[in-house]
Amino acid sequence: MIYIYILYSAGSDKFYVGQTTDFQTRLFQHNNSNRSTYTSKHRPWTPFALFQVLGTAGDATKIERFIKAQKNKSFILRISNPETELKGNLAKLLRISIPKFRDRN
């Protein structure tokens, strides 16, 4: 399964959008990598929204790029809201509950 995820950094008031097949491992990497990356500068990241992609890896990439291209917090808040119907490019997303993740340290 492929997931599109949205993380939130409260300290920086920023969102990050990505895709993965293993959300828990990817979240750990964002919060613990020793590499200097965009996400390393805005730690800690908490899960904000998680979607299962009902399609191919290519569909996931197109959807991820579409979300990133919006560059709009209100858009992210809107698509993360369970009351919002996902249409168009987002119709292949299935919102899923974010389990409580424990830090692996």
Q: How many domains does the chain have?
A: 1
User: Residue 105 — pLDDT band, cuts 50, 70, 90?
Assistant: very low
Give domain status of residue 12, yes or no: yes
**Rounded to an integer, what distance in angstroms lies between the CA atom of residue 96 and that of residue 98?**
6
Give domain status of residue 105, yes or no: no
Give domain status of residue 85, yes or no: yes
Give domain status of residue 101, yes or no: no
Give domain status of residue 18, yes or no: yes
User: Residue 101 — pLDDT band, cuts 50, 70, 90?
Assistant: very low
Give domain status of residue 104, yes or no: no
**Rounded to an integer, what distance in angstroms lies between the CA atom of residue 26 and that of residue 13?**
20
C-beta separation of 9 from 51 below 8 A: no
Give domain status of residue 88, yes or no: yes
Domain holding 12: CATH number?
3.40.1440
pLDDT tens digit string along 51-85? 999 999 999 999 999 999 998 999 999 999 999 99
Range of the domain at 89: 3-96
**Rounded to an integer, what distance in angstroms lies between the CA atom of residue 1 and that of residue 22?**
8
Give domain status of residue 102, yes or no: no
C-beta separation of 16 from 30 below 8 A: yes
Enter the DSSP assignment of 13. Answer: T
pLDDT tens digit string along 32-43? 988 888 889 999
pLDDT averaged over the chain?
91
Closest of 29, 49, 34, 28 to residue 101, by C-alpha: 28
